[in-house]
Structure 1
């Protein structure tokens, strides 16, 4: 967390050298754990060439940020192959990037993205450490850290186009997004799950110890605002774990390490270990609830 959100990484701007450094850091963690590479050519990195020119919405988003070439982005991907059901996959994800260098606020122009989403990246790396050093799970686990979420999800698009395992094998995806601070809108110690009522995954994880509740911010449409959504549109059960309480540091230079509640974050990650251990070792498969698939747009979240 200290490395990812340090000023030296200049806010890990989407498709910058600093995002690349963050991806290399994650790759080194995966390699040290003895995980199987899931990237290009037997490596832990998946390089993505961005469209030229970028879409107008991406260009508009970048117009207020550092003027630097944005030609490539990177995913960091690792695989822990399952023992008895290797063709069933649980996907654990977060995004590597943030905004980078932007307009100065109170003398600070580095948008560190400690909560958004160094916290989620740290959660995935921590879970990789725990799961890789324990008993080999029944199902395969893919750990994927996506680049360029902030400018349009180009990392997850590349993952979907060139997946390290067949997309049809993915039983469930849990995205970790902004878990660095507690949300006062939910009980102490709780996390919320986007699209809680869309599938039976959340309730089942709760039965196995997860401190998960329904997203209290339905009007924000968070189910559609993270990398999980592109996977959900493919029919994959894909939901985001978060505790973002709409704090004022969102997309500001003040989203730095000083704003992180490490006790909450540690408890948040720890609370997901047993439920995920159950998910990667059970034969149970989550399903969409009737009429709740993401293409049913009448349902906002």
Structure 2
């Protein structure tokens, strides 16, 4: 009897261990991971990442290196998708992770954020560099972190484009260019999720972030269902200020007429440094950012793997 009991205990231990391994996520973003990426993208060395500058070029090279290290391939001949921004040559950085399912790999999800900023701002205490930590090194950090996760997890049945957009500050020029190019290629776009200004928590909300264009699709509902928590909510101010039309999701919505929306935590009360030289990494909540990125993983995983396209326009 003693031997049988020991055998049962051993089998239970093995079963529990296997279950734990199966359920444990691949590497997810840590606070220190987020801090490292943010400290570079919002550093003075990049001089505010204005379109056509050496600072933006350094940011693009950094993103390329992160993609290469992660095993994210270029979608085009190189990672850089060049275009003209009102007379200045600039680029989007586009990474590609092919889907693992023979059929669903023909469907694409775009995960994006803009990585450019305005360069300089009004001088404060001798500082003129608008570092753009929240706007939008924060969103860029989310895309880079998610690219790392999914490249390692290899769990995406659908294909993914991880895109850092250029010239957003010039009028959504990078996303407009890429959306048009992909439409001309007849890309089968399922949905697009964009990250914008996620560096600080919302004030007094039950949800962690809001989504622009909340009412145009069931994306918020599905993200909450997929993540198993109230991750995404409705922000009336986002509708009032028409934020759905003011970020890089919008050109994709226009071209493809599918759900393309932006996740953000800037609620008009929680951050005073929009397009300001004090939009610095010192103002960012890295722990919150890592938590939001990691909370997004189960939802995006589900988006990439459902047998049918469950996220739909209303």
Question: Shorter-normalised TM-score: what interval?
Answer: 0.7 to 0.9
Cross-structure match for 1:271: 295
Cross-structure match for 2:307: 283
CA contact (8 A) 1:82 1:141 kept: yes
Cross-structure match for 1:65: none
Cross-structure match for 1:17: 54
How big is the alpha-carbon RMSD for the aligned residues of Structure 1 and Structure 2?
A: 1.6
User: By how many angstroms is 1:139 displaced?
Assistant: 0.4
Q: How does 1:37-186 map to 2 (within 5 A)?
A: 37-39=74-76, 42-52=77-87, 71-84=88-101, 85-163=104-182, 166=185, 168-186=187-205
CA contact (8 A) 2:111 2:162 kept: yes
Residue deviations 1:40-66 (CA, integer Å, cap 9, x gap): xx21111112334xxxxxxxxxxxxxx
Cross-structure match for 1:236: 258
User: By how many angstroms is 1:268 displaced?
Assistant: 0.8
CA contact (8 A) 1:24 1:45 kept: no
Cross-structure match for 2:63: 26
Query: TM-score scaled to structure 2, two decimals?
Result: 0.82
CA contact (8 A) 2:258 2:312 kept: no
Residue deviations 1:137-196 (CA, integer Å, cap 9, x gap): 110011011001001122112212323994541101000000000110522x61111111
Q: Which of the pair is proportionally richer in helix?
A: 2
Give 5+ residue unaligned stretches, structure 2.
1-37
Point out 4+ residue stretches in structure 1 off by more than 6 angstroms.
Answer: none
Give 5+ residue unaligned stretches, structure 1.
53-70, 290-301
Question: Are 2:27 and 1:8 aligned?
Answer: no
Count of residues in Structure 1 that have an aligned counterpart in Structure 2? 268
Query: TM-score scaled to structure 1, two decimals?
Result: 0.85
Where 1:49 maps in the other structure, the secondary structure is strand
Cross-structure match for 1:225: 246
